[in-house]
Structure 1
Amino acid sequence: MTTEQERPPEAQSSMSSPMPEDGNGKPAPPSERRGTPPEDPPLEAALAFLVRGWAPIPLCWPTSEGACGSGRGHQGNNIGKALLLGAGYQTLQPTEADVRR
């Protein structure tokens, strides 16, 4: 087994213990690492998507009255499902900073 000092600098971690993985060799989302419920479940889910290499897609949200919460006036079955991005969203490569905005 190779020790941390024997690894090349780019392969050395800054943590003394390994980060829990999601089963696919990628780091688990922050809420799973801490073992506590996330403070912002949608944000945590979007960040977990990024960690896995998936791009989260922002959608409108329903209000407690069942209306569209984005202010764009989506109706009926589109409430909570309508995209908040325009054309070309499929080619975006969002960063963590983009998701947190």
Structure 2
Amino acid sequence: MSLEPSNYAFCCALQGDMEKAKALLEAAEFIGAKRKTSIVIFNRSLVCWVAGDLAGAASLMRDFKGKDPKNFAFYSSSSQYMEKFMKDVSAAGHPV
């Protein structure tokens, strides 16, 4: 249930609506509070990346990778944004 708002948050961030993205991430975390869905961490990382917070984005992505290596591997190979994300955070000195 918490996946949908966090996925939508990333879409809002891509469209430049950071306020809505942040509100949706907060909602996703509230909805999934008891199980702390790792995908919410993944989407929060992507929102930070879009916002230009590369250090925060890399830190969250490392957290996602550590908590859910299987989904990290899946999304690393299937997300159209991951290659650019990894290049950007590495170039800024924040490798995942």
Which of 1 and 2 has higher RCO (CA within 8 Å, sep 6+)? Answer: 2
After TM superposition, the score normalised by the length of structure 2 is 0.29
Normalized per residue, which structure has more helix? 2
Instruction: Give 1 or 2 for the bigger CA radius of gyration.
Output: 1
Normalized against structure 1, the TM-score is what?
Answer: 0.28
